[in-house]
Amino acid sequence: MTGGDTGVIVLAAGRGTRMRSALPKVLHPVCGMPMVAHIVGAARQLQPARLAVVTGYRGDLVRAELREAGVDFVDQPELLGTADAVARCREALEGCGTLVVLNGDTPLIRPGRLQGLIATRGDAPFAFASCVVEEPGRLGRVVRDENGRVSGIVEAAEYSGPAGPAEINAGQYCFDAAWLWANLEKVPISAKGEYYLTHLVAIAHEAGTPAVTVECDPLEALGVDDRVRLAKAEREMRRRVLERHMLAGVTVQDPLTTYIDATVRIAEDVTILPNCHLVGATVVDGNVAIGPGTTLRDARIGEGSVVMSSVIEDSVVGVNVRIGPFAHVRGGAVIGDDCELGNYAEVKNSRLGRGVKMHHFSYLGDADVGEYANIAAGIITCNFDGVRKHRTVIGAHAFVGSDTMLVAPVSVGEGAVTGAGSVVTKDIPPGAKAVGAPARVIGKAHPAEE
C-alpha cells in the first residue's frame, strides 16, 4: 500500500511496428487481458492518488478498453518519445510528490516490485529497475562510472559496443516529481527526433545526484514488441495464473496443456483435466470436474457439475449437471440443476428446467423446456423460417420421441408425448400423444390413466 501523494503514468502511446498489426501494441492480450490492463492493475495496487495513461496511436481503442478503469487519459498527438509523453502529464498529476512511470508493454511487472522501487528511491532524484540479461537486444544498456554509480542509459539504436550480457533498463521508474518537472526540459533531442526519458539518468549523474537502481527479475523487464515476446509473456503469465489457482485448491492435472485467462474465477476442489481452455469471464463453482478437451468461454458452471470434452459459451450451467462428451452449449443458454446433456447435444439460447435429459444427437435452439422433460435422440427445434427465429416451448415431464422435428413457433404441452419421427407443426395439448408427419393427436399420452 502506498497511496498518499503518489501518481502513476503508464506510457501506452506507441504503435509497436514490430508487432505487424493494426492493433496498438499495448492492446494485444496476455492471458485474456490487454497488456496495458495488466499494468494498470498492478499500478492500482499502489493505491495512487492519480493514475494517467498516455495514448497516441489508435488512442480511441486504448481509451475504450480502459474506460471503466478509473484512469485519466493524456493524449500524445505526435509520438515524440517517452520524455515528451511524461511532460504532457504534468497537469493531470498536479499535486503528486512521487511519480511512478511504467512502460505499457511490460505486462509481467509485479506490484511488490513497484513498492520496492518507491521505497528504494530515498533522497535520490529517481530510481529505476534494472537487471542483467544474456542478450540485451533492443533494450537500453545501463552505464556506470568507476564508483559504480549509474551514469547513463544507452539506447540500443545508439549502442556500438561489444555484444554479450549487460545490465539493462526495465522501463519502471520512480521520480521525485519536483525534480522530474524541473529537468524534463533539459532532455536533448535524439538522432531520431525524439525525447527519451532515459536521458534523465545522465542529467542526474552530471548534477552529482545520480539515480539508484532496483534489481528485478528479467521477466518483469520483458518488453513485448513482437509476437515472439508476446508468446513468452503469455507463457509466463499462464504459469502464474495456474500456480495461483493450484495454491488456492484447484487440481490442474497437466499445467502444460491447460489455459486459464487471468479473468477466470475458480472455487476450491475443482479438477481440470488436460487440454482445457477457461477464458473470459468464466466462473466455476466448487467440486466441478472439467475436461479433458473442454472449452469454457464466459460460462458459469454450478457446484458439483461435470463438463467433459465439450464447449460452453456465454451460458449458465446449474448444480449437479452432466454435460458431454462433445456437447455445445452457447448463446445465452441456461441449463437447470440436475440436467444431463450427452454426446453431440447442442443447446442455443434456451432454458432447460431441472432434471431435463437430452442424451444424444439433438438440437434445442430458442426453446423453453420444462422440468424433467425427456429429449430423445435426433430431436431438432426448427427455429428459423428463413427470415425470423421463433421459440419452441416444451412442457414439464413431456417426452419428445426420437427424430421429432419441432417446427417453431410451436409448443408441446406438459406431460405430452410425440412418437418417433413426428413433425410437429401445431401445438400439442398437455397430456396428449401425437404421431406422424405432420403430427396429429391420437389420444392421451398415458391411456391407462384415463
Residues 6+ apart with CB under 8 A from 390: 366, 383, 384, 408, 409
Contact yes or no for 141/153 (Cβ under 8 A):
yes
**What 3-state class would DSSP assign to 209?**
coil
Beta bridge partners of 390: none
The DSSP string of 385-411 is -SS-B--EEE-TT-EE-TT-EEESSEE
Matching residue, cell 537500453: 140
Kindly name the residue from 199, 205, 359, 360 that is annotated as catalytic: 360
* Cell numbers standing for residue 287: 467440486
360 assigned to active site: yes
Residue from 67, 60, 75, 54 nearest 23 by CA? 60
What distance in Å separates the CA atoms of residue 317 and residue 334, rounded to the nearest whole number? 6
Task: Indicate if the alpha-carbon torsion angle 381, 387, 389, 393 is positive or negative.
Answer: negative
- DSSP-based helix, strand, coil % in the chain, nearest 5: 20, 35, 45
Residues 6+ apart with CB under 8 A from 134: 164, 165
Contact yes or no for 18/27 (Cβ under 8 A):
no
DSSP 187: P
DSSP 306: E
Let me know how long the chain is.
450
Contact yes or no for 416/432 (Cβ under 8 A):
yes
**What 3-state class would DSSP assign to 437?**
coil
What distance in Å separates the CA atoms of residue 97 and residue 177, rounded to the nearest whole number? 5
Catalytic residues: 360
